[in-house]
Amino acid sequence: MPPYLALAIAIVAEVIATTALKQSAGFTRPMPMLVTVIGYSIAFYFLSLTLERMPTGITYAIWSGVGIVLITAIAWLLHGQRLDGASLAGIGLIMAGVLVLNLFSKAGAG
């Protein structure tokens, strides 16, 4: 499996798990709790596959950066989280960092 595909699956699973974690209300609601546990299990499995072929630092930068952007978007859409100018600028910088790593860094997967 190509490393970027495994990483994309890991990120999507982590975002689903984190979203369900919010819905689990401190692990008191069984279905969101189950989605959280399964989602994180899938996420870490595919992250481990990614780490077999990509450097840890690059992998984690992409994983966390894309995850932050997606979770923030979901929090805005589903939970009404407000985003001010500073938070939008920060998200923009995170996105720029992930793009720089992928487009210009020679440290990633070849």
> Could you read off the pLDDT of 38-78 as tens digits, one per residue?
999 999 999 999 999 999 988 998 999 999 999 999 999 99
Cα distance between residue 45 and residue 51, in whole Å: 10
pLDDT tens string 74-100: 999 998 999 999 999 999 999 898 888
pTM of the model: 0.87
Q: What's the rounded Cα separation, in Å, for the pair 93 and 97?
A: 6
Helical (H) or strand (E) element with 84:
none
> Rounded to whole angstroms, how far apart are CA atoms 41 and 11?
12
- For residue 6, the model assigns a pLDDT of 98
Residue 79 is predicted with a pLDDT of: 87
DSSP 107: S
Residue 40 · residue 93 · CB < 8 Å: no
pLDDT on residue 108: 58
